[in-house]
Amino acid sequence: MSKTYEYVPEPALVKGNHDFSSITALVTDINMRPTPKGWYIAFAISNMLLLVLLVSIAYLIWEGTGIWGLNQPVGWGWAIINFVWWVGIGHAGTLISAILFLFRQGWRTAINRFAEAMTIFAVMCAGIFPAIHVGRIWVVYWMFPLPNQMAMWPNFNSPLLWDVFAVSTYMTVSFLFWYVGLVPDLATVRDRIKSKVGKVLYGIGALGWRGSNRHWWNYEKSYMILAGLATPLVLSVHTIVSFDFAVSLIPGWHTTIFPPYFVAGAVFSGFAMVLTLMIICRKIYNLEDIMTVDHIEKMNLIILVTGSMVGFAYLMEFFIAWYGQVEYEKAIFIIRATGPYAWAYWIMIACNVISPQLFWSKKIRRNVTLTFIVSIVVNIGMWFERFVITVSSLSTDFLPSSWGYYSPTIWDVLTYVGTFGLFFTFFLLFLRFLPMIAVAELKGVMPQADPHNYDENGEYVEPKVEVPEPKKLNS
Amino acid sequence: MAQIFPKWTDEAPRRILIASIVLLNGIVFGIWYFFSPEFTQVGYAPEQPVPFSHQVHVSQLGLDCQYCHTQVEESKHANIPATQTCMNCHNQIKTDSDDLQPVRDSWESGESIEWIRVHQLPDYAYFNHSAHVNVGVGCESCHGRVDRMEVVYQAEPMSMGWCLDCHREPEKHIRPVEEVTTMGYEAENQDELGRELVSKHNINAPTYCQACHY
């Protein structure tokens, strides 16, 4: 019995009939044409939200952490929930830029710049919460091991310190990765832009890039090295964030499944956020030829996989609670699903486990509107996951006499809402002033970058090289 | 295409990088050194309302610290003597000295002399004199050679790191209780004596936060 297999070529990564110069124009013209009115409106709204954040932080510093809804027994509330949520969102950046790069996934080039920018801004939003929650913010540098006259040193046994290192390393490497990738594209904008100021500013960013062979060689090497450095970070950051919980002894937190479960959840939420932003931007900036439905489908597959992993982890937590036969562990999971926070638990299950299952259908995977809705639902679900973990375990801990119900205050809410202002302020500046797609890399995955000089029958054809006639100088 | 930048900018990125490394380290070092009490506090010698000379009273006249600072053994606070203590002698000696006028005024009116505090610990650090004096921490270990001071000044930084230097290794600084007020005390074999005294007084100098901050 024999079966003939047909070769199905990969669908082209860039749709439409583009050549190199039209791609350059498509992406970098966004930075060079006058600012559209819609951008100003969006920027004004973001700025107002940013102001909300600044006011909330100022009042927090003035009045102290008592303005938040924290008290016994729930000493960790929205601040850590938002921290973990934003860091999780920041995970898509390194996964797309580092791991998919090392696995030679050509489709990443359409979205990596975008995802990396989102990562950096998300980690900035995340970093705010550990910085402002300390109460006496003027001694926040105590988090770092700096020599001082108090002979005081951070506690190296504490995962909270590991967090400082994990997140700051992640931020640094993500930023470097993003910037290194930007250099050739900044040079492109520098060469195309007309204004003198623009030339100088983009020129500073381009670090004297001339596109020589040596430049490219150095660029490729450094990009590869950074990808190698960033790959372990994809796993390490959220592993260590999960240690904030797992290393403690609180029932529902003290489990070994936390690191893989947090990493999967982080990638899950990160991809969802990239999709949310990407679907809006490709529409507004007419980039459907580059960020195609094929890209959306591939990302939806990752959402399906990681969403199912998260769902598996939820089930496994219940199984191990029963299998381990620890009274408190068993109790906390029953309380989670049926107790005072059951509403949050079932929102989480509905958003994180059930909604991505839609993507088993190819039709839905390729449906932009539905994808957009699910991507938002997933991020709501991931916020509730952190809420359930943090609040339910603390509010019903070992001592029933100290059980309590946690509610946020208006300041918790405003601080969280304000971080969106910070995020979108930076993101809009990025969209306006930096090429949002890695133009140089994108050209590398186009068919024009890979000329083979064979015709359909496999016969060698002399490449046609057009040598322009030398211009005659007027003498 | 015309050059946008002059030639010196070729070196700029490297220089900026080196400068920022130097600057960041400089900031850390600068704060560590110039902001520490060792730099800002040691040598603080305010002018007092009465130019009382410890050098004259201790070195020349041989007064013991506890003749005036009577409560160090019982109290967390080492008291400044009452005007009465001064007048024990000065109602007969130097009764017409101009320098002593504030003391006589205080004696007449009953109002205390407003001495200026030299050793100021922060409010959140609880220091107990009796706990230290009764197990053999000498006055001079913290206050320096007061017997040589014409004007009292702060001799030691009194920073947390400085406290911990002794709390971590009390045997290097401790002395027999009867030698507490001795100025210029030196043991023949501090290591051996120190260890002996630590075990004798069962000294277990705490280094946890709430020992001093509660």
Predicted confidence (pLDDT) per residue in A181-190, tens digit:
999 999 999 9
Return the pLDDT at A465. 63
Domain that holds residue B90: 82-114
Between A18 and A117, residue with greater pLDDT: A117
Confidence of residue A301 (pLDDT cuts 50, 70, 90): very high
B157/A149 Cβ within 8 A? yes
pLDDT per residue as tens digits for the range A227-246: 998 888 888 999 999 999 99
B41 touches chain A (CB under 8 A): no
Structural contact between residues A258 and A246, judged by C-beta atoms closer than 8 angstroms: yes
For residues B37 and B157, the answer to whether their CB atoms sit within 8 Å is: yes
Contact B159 A150 (CB under 8 A): yes
| Percent of chain A scoring above 90 in pLDDT | 63
Using omega within 30 degrees of 0 as the cis cutoff, is the peptide bond preceding A251 cis?
no
Inter-chain residue contact A146 with B159, CB threshold 8 Å: no
B140 and B63 share a domain? yes
Whether A364 has a pLDDT exceeding 60, the answer reads yes
Q: For position A54, what pLDDT does the model report?
A: 96
Look at residue A96 in the predicted model and tell me its pLDDT: 82
pLDDT at A448: 80
Query: Does residue B173 fall inside a structural domain?
Result: yes
On whether both B63 and B94 belong to a single domain, the answer is: no
- Is B28's Cβ below 8 Å from some Cβ in A? yes
**Model confidence at A475: pLDDT above 60:** no
Does residue B47 lie in a domain region? no
Q: What is the mean pLDDT of residues A141-153?
A: 85
Q: What is the mean pLDDT of residues A265-276?
A: 93
Together in a domain, B107 and B174: no
Number of domains in chain B: 2
Contact A149 B5 (CB under 8 A): no
Q: Does B10 touch chain A (CB under 8 A)?
A: yes
Q: What pLDDT band is residue A430 in, cutting at 50, 70 and 90? A: very high
Residues B206 and B158 in one domain: yes
Whether residues B104 and B206 fall in one domain: no
Question: Are residues A80 and A244 in contact, defined by beta-carbon separation less than 8 angstroms?
Answer: yes
Last residue of a domain, one of B70, B96, B114: B114
Q: pLDDT tens per residue, chain B (214 residues)?
A: 578 889 898 898 899 999 999 999 999 999 889 998 889 999 999 999 999 999 999 999 999 999 999 999 999 988 999 999 999 999 998 888 999 999 999 999 999 999 999 999 989 999 999 999 999 999 999 999 999 999 999 999 999 999 999 999 999 999 999 999 999 898 888 999 999 999 998 999 999 989 999 8
A149 touches chain B (CB under 8 A): yes
What pLDDT band is residue A341 in, cutting at 50, 70 and 90? very high
Q: Enter the tokens of residue A2.
A: 């024999």
Q: Could you tell me the residue ranges of all domains in chain A?
A: 20-136+152-449
Longest C-alpha distance within chain A, in Å?
99
Q: Are A137 and A297 in contact (CB under 8 A)?
A: no
Asked whether residue B136 is assigned to any structural domain, the reply reads yes
User: Residue A423: which H helix or E strand, with range?
Assistant: helix A410-433
Please give the pLDDT value at position B150. Answer: 92
Domain assignment of residue B41, yes or no: no
Instruction: Tell me the residues of chain A between 397 and 456 that have a Cβ less than 8 Å away from chain B.
Output: none
Q: What residues of A are in contact with residue B42 (Cβ under 8 Å)?
A: none
In chain A, residues with a C-beta closer than 8 Å to the C-beta of B3 are none
pLDDT band at A265 (very low <50, low <70, confident <90, very high): very high
A437 and A27 Cβ atoms separated by less than 8 Å: yes
What b/e sequence results for A207-217 when a residue is b if at least 16 CB atoms lie within 10 Å of its CB, and e otherwise? bebeeeeebee
* A222 neighbors A230 (Cβ within 8 angstroms): no
* Residue B5 near chain A (CB below 8 Å): yes
Taking the model in full, what pTM does it have? 0.87
For residue B187, the model assigns a pLDDT of 86
Two structure tokens written together for A125:
């939003």
Residues of chain A contacting residue B13, judged by C-beta atoms under 8 Å apart = 207
* Whether domain A20-136+152-449 has CATH 1.10.1740.10: no
Q: Tell me, yes or no, whether B155 and B214 share the same domain.
A: yes
Identify the pLDDT of residue B143. Answer: 94
Q: Which residues of A touch B32 (CB under 8 A)?
A: 146-149
List the single residue in A146, A200, A207 with the smallest CB-CB distance to B4: A200
d(CA A387, CA A413): 13
- Minimum distance, in Å, between the CA of residue B160 and any CA atom of chain A: 4
Is A151 close to B9, i.e. CB distance below 8 A?
no
DSSP assignment of A231-244 equals: HHHHHHHHHHHHHH
Tens-place pLDDT, residues A192-221: 999 999 999 999 999 889 989 999 999 999
Question: ipTM of this model?
Answer: 0.75
